[in-house]
Amino acid sequence: MYWRLIREPFRRPHTRRRALWAVVAIALGTAVAAAMLNVSIEIGDRMGEEVRALGPNIVITSAGDSLPVAIGGVQYRPVSAESSLAEGSLPKLKSIFWRNNIKSFAPFLAVPTKVHTFTELTKSTTLTTDKLSKLSESVVSATLTGTWFDFPMIKKADESFRTGIRSLNPAWSVQGEWATDTTPPLDSDQPIPAMLGERLARQLKTQPGDLITVNLAPADGQAVATSVFRITGILSTGTAEDDQIVAPLAAVQKISGRLGQVETIRVSALIKPEDQLSRRDPESMSPADYDRWFCAPYLSSIMYQIGGAIPGSVVRPIREVAETQGSILSKMNFLMVLLALLALLAAAMGISSLASLSVIERRQEIALMKAIGATDGLVSTFLMTEMGLQGLAGGILGFSGGQLLASAVGRAVFETDVAVHWLLLPVIVAGAVILSLAGTWLPVLRAVRQQPAPVLRGE
């Protein structure tokens, strides 16, 4: 009898149309909510990739590294094993728990130099002592920085990973060509490929293809070390590299006599926006909180794991980049949640209006049910079940529509498809039912409080 009473209203044309409008209102609200949830889940990593254009967000230095002294724009620091990191420790970055969030990194080794430019031998390929003597008289102090450009750090049958400044800093621009990590033997006549920062290139009046010589400060009892570089491109970064010579790490290590050593490592990692948990000291966390923190890609937890993987290192955030990345991701998630809540609120208001109209038209039916002995709870259950079924239908339709809307948003805004997340189906359907019941609750409460006698008399 109960389910017969539930089915009966849907047989009436005007009641059936109202129920259809209620399903449509729920479907529209839940479709927008489902789309925003799908986009936030699927596009989170894509947004992280986009904000990676800001550059690395973590820097690693040696625990024994002293503060550098800058003189004339050139950094000077003591050279010792304690102030360096081992190049062989870099693969450990891909062994931490959040190794897949380590998208790119590059080591750096900087040495102070004196730079000369050729006056007559630009773009020469064969170098002799006589030719090297024909140098300009101008001498410029600069920093020679060794790094990886596009280095195959991991190369296995089932795995490969290339990294370097090309992927670490996608916003850097180059006039000419990127240098390569392959270098000729130092005792050969072939110049070493390198890149010049744009400010240093203007100062030296150098173009891609030109040759420069670099003299390193001599060590005790040694002669001046001179090396010849061919400029493959002019690097525009907006950072300190605009005043530097950027060359392959292996070549700079050999020239400076610091084989296997690096000074700093810059890392670009996909991170989760900070919250209250991420700002806590892990030493003060309970075991449950520590597990939650360790298993979340917070900047602090990734740095903690890097510090454990590379002993003797100090891991610090590049605060400006990290805060900007976290702010962009937080604002994007907030915007999507806000749109979802507004859509659900609009749907709830529509459901409430339709429910109020339905209750007004069925006042006599409700009064008759109460007159023959139905309790307020039974009448409320009857009406709420009816609206719950409408919410169930609207939730299923909303989930389907949300997938289509999410795919459209993904292609239009992020140029990527959005996968179907079936785990959201029960969440969306349950939310639609709750939304329907919430919009119906107040009109039903008013209806069951009415006395049946006045209603049946037409008052």
Domain boundaries, the chain: 2-46+325-456, 57-314
- Over residues 399-446, the pLDDT tens digits come to 888 888 877 777 776 666 677 777 778 888 888 888 777 777 777 777
pLDDT at 137: 47
DSSP strands (E only) in 125-282: 140-147, 151-155, 160-163, 173-176, 192-197, 211-216, 225-236, 244-248, 261-262, 264-269
How far is the C-alpha of 388 from the C-alpha of 392, rounded, in Å? Answer: 6
> Using the 8-state DSSP alphabet, how is residue 295 labeled?
T
Stretches where the chain sits below pLDDT 70 are 1-16, 18, 41-53, 64-83, 118-138, 154-159, 186-187, 217-225, 319-329, 360-363, 374, 413-417, 452-459
Describe the crossing of helices 319-361 and 44-51 by its angle, rounded to 10 degrees.
Answer: 150
> Using the 8-state DSSP alphabet, how is residue 133 labeled?
T
pLDDT at 214: 86
Residues near 128 by beta carbon (within 8 Å), at least 6 away in sequence = 189
Per-position DSSP letters for 304-325, written without gaps between them: HHHHHHSTTEEEEE-HHHHHHH
Which among 262, 411, 271 is positioned nearest to 328, based on CA atoms? 271
CA 435 to each of CA 360, 389, 405, 438: distance values in angstroms, whole numbers, following the listed order: 21, 12, 20, 5
Residues near 133 by beta carbon (within 8 Å), at least 6 away in sequence = none
Q: Which residues pair with 71 in a beta bridge?
A: 74
pLDDT at 221: 44
SS3 label, residue 157: coil
pLDDT at 149: 94
Between CA 400 and CA 407, with CA 401 as vertex, the angle to 5 degrees is 95
pLDDT at 35: 81
Residues near 239 by beta carbon (within 8 Å), at least 6 away in sequence = 55
Residues 367/455, Cβ–Cβ less than 8 Å: yes
Which among 347, 409, 260 is positioned nearest to 24, based on CA atoms? 347
Phi then psi for residue 395, to 5 deg, are: -65, -40
pLDDT at 195: 94
Q: Are strands 192-197 and 225-236 parallel, antiparallel or unpaired?
A: parallel
Residues 116/138, Cβ–Cβ less than 8 Å: yes
SS3 label, residue 212: strand
Q: Are strands 58-62 and 264-269 parallel, antiparallel or unpaired?
A: antiparallel
Which among 4, 29, 96 is positioned nearest to 347, based on CA atoms? 29
Which among 421, 423, 425 is positioned nearest to 398, based on CA atoms? 425
How far is the C-alpha of 344 from the C-alpha of 351, rounded, in Å? Answer: 10
How far is the C-alpha of 413 from the C-alpha of 278, rounded, in Å? Answer: 30
Residues 98/301, Cβ–Cβ less than 8 Å: yes
> Using the 8-state DSSP alphabet, how is residue 171 labeled?
T
